[in-house]
């Protein structure tokens, strides 16, 4: 068969070039491998129809909103994790208009736990752009889609391919791995030079116009097929090459380099950072609690009123029913780690924590007080308890009951964060002096904690603490 003859020539060329220090991928593009590129698309499409994934909640639709939402959620996140979030998100925000009209805080609440929170902020901004600038309709091509917040070339191409049948290549993480192995691309797959090379391969591998005319769903099948191959066959470890439709002329398979490609990035030591998280709690009379949370909106936004409960548009006097446990939450700045989410007050243990914590953040906006001057050297010699007591003094917290809790580590993309939680119990919550109009600080009843969007590790910590 002609296909087999080309494959043999391919193997010979590969082994002859293995000894060369220059990458052989560029040469292969102009050799018989290029003749196989049309077959590559056909094989991927045929394989996807028979063996690919067909029952994911964002499949079997040409709705750009659902496709876009799934593509954003799937960035840096596994399918199994995304499914539940996607379904809940769609239930609350069924279309782009409902998402655009929602508050960012509510969007972050429904995103909480999914990580990479800049995606949620871009998602919200993108929805507003689509409604305001595109009349609620997503642009019908990849070039225009890339003008929207948070949509890069590969995401734009996926939306355009799935929803509009545009002949445009994708290059997400799974597809990079497939192409690195199939074409034998060496080098760091995140480097600019290698990425440009992979885009060239992706463009050449795109189904021909004739194929898309013959099979109207060819682009959607091909795009989904590449994603499926990377997720189910061409996996990072122990790829199932025997099930792959491209194994007969895959460079990595033919040269026994599936474990070497893509080449891993040179790993640098991940920085270690530390912080103290303060679980500040108290018992507060119901009469003083009032409605510390807007139940109707479910956004974690205070009404700013004390002694009254808001039900719809009516205000009802709060009735004293004893006391309830409350926990102090502090909203993080919009930019940075966990931006815009509710978390716990923090103070520093060692090192420069400006990127992740608010060192000795003063909760009070009524009094102008000088923050404790704590240098890096002095921090290292102080105990956590003394640091917390200084923090309490700066925030006018009198005679707190302190209790150290089990420390744990949370890993971000670029650093490890060691978290030491401390319980700070206050006899009288009214002793903590902060401006009630400050929307970034809130006493929250334990039965309303679930209504506030918190990072996954903070939410787990707070919820477990609330049950004590």
**Helix, strand, or coil (residue 243):** helix
- Is 71 part of the annotated catalytic residue set? yes
Which position among 71, 105, 166, 346 bears the catalytic label?
A: 71
**Is there a contact between 218 and 211 (Cβ–Cβ < 8 Å)?**
yes
Q: Measuring CA to CA, which residue among 298, 342, 346 is closest to residue 443? A: 342
List, as one string, the DSSP characters of 272-338: EEEEEEEEEEEEEEHHHHS--S-TTTTSS-----SSEEEETTEEEE-----EEEEEEEEEPPSSSTT
Strands 272-285 and 323-331 turn out to be antiparallel
CA distance 170 to 168: 7
Instruction: Report whether the peptide linkage leading into residue 221 is cis, meaning its omega lies within 30 degrees of zero.
Output: no
- In degrees and rounded to multiples of 5, residue 252 shows phi and psi of -65, -40
Tokens of 146: 């890339």
Other C-beta atoms closer than 10 Å to the C-beta of 103 total: 14
Q: What is the set of active-site residues? A: 71
């Amino acid at each position: 068969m002609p296909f087999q003859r080309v494959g043999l020539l391919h193997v010979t060329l590969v082994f002859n070039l293995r000894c060369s220090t220059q990458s052989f991928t560029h040469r292969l593009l102009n050799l018989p491998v290029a003749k196989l590129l049309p077959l590559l698309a056909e094989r991927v499409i045929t394989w996807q129809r028979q063996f690919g994934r067909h029952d994911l909640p964002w499949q079997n639709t040409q709705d750009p909103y659902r496709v876009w939402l799934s593509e954003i959620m799937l960035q840096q996140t596994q399918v199994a994790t995304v499914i539940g979030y996607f379904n809940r998100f769609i239930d609350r925000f069924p279309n782009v208009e409902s998402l655009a009209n929602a508050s960012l805080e509510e969007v972050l609440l429904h995103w909480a736990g999914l990580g990479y929170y800049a995606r949620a902020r871009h998602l919200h901004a993108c929805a507003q752009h689509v409604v305001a600038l595109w009349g609620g309709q997503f642009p019908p091509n990849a070039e225009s889609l890339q003008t929207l917040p948070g949509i890069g070339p590969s995401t734009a191409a996926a939306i355009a391919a799935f929803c509009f049948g545009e002949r445009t290549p994708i290059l997400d993480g799974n597809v990079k791995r497939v192409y690195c192995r199939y074409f034998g691309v060496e080098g760091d797959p995140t480097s600019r030079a290698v990425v440009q090379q992979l885009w060239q391969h992706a463009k050449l591998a795109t189904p021909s116009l004739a194929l898309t005319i013959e099979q109207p769903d060819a682009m959607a099948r091909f795009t989904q097929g590449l994603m499926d191959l990377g997720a189910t066959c061409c996996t990072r470890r122990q790829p199932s090459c025997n099930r792959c439709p491209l194994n007969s002329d895959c460079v990595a398979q033919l040269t026994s380099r599936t474990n070497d490609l893509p080449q891993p990035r040179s790993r640098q030591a991940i920085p270690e950072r530390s912080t103290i998280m303060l679980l500040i709690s108290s018992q507060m009379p119901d009469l003083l609690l009032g409605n510390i949370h807007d139940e109707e909106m479910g956004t974690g936004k205070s009404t700013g009123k004390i002694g009254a409960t808001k039900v719809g548009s009516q205000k009802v006097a709060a009735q004293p029913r004893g006391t309830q446990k409350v926990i102090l939450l502090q909203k993080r700045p919009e930019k940075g780690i966990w931006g815009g989410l509710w978390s716990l007050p923090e103070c520093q243990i060692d090192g420069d924590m400006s990127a992740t914590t608010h060192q000795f953040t003063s909760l009070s906006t009524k009094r102008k007080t000088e923050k404790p001057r704590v240098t890096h050297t002095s921090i290292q010699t102080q105990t956590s308890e003394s640091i917390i007591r200084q923090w309490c003094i700066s925030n006018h917290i009198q005679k707190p009951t302190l209790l150290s809790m089990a420390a744990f580590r949370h890993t971000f993309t670029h650093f490890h964060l060691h978290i030491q939680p401390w319980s700070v119990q206050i006899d009288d919550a009214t002793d903590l002096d902060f401006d009630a109009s400050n929307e970034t600080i809130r006493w929250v009843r334990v039965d309303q904690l679930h209504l506030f969007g918190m990072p996954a590790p903070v939410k787990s910590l707070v919820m477990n603490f609330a049950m004590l």
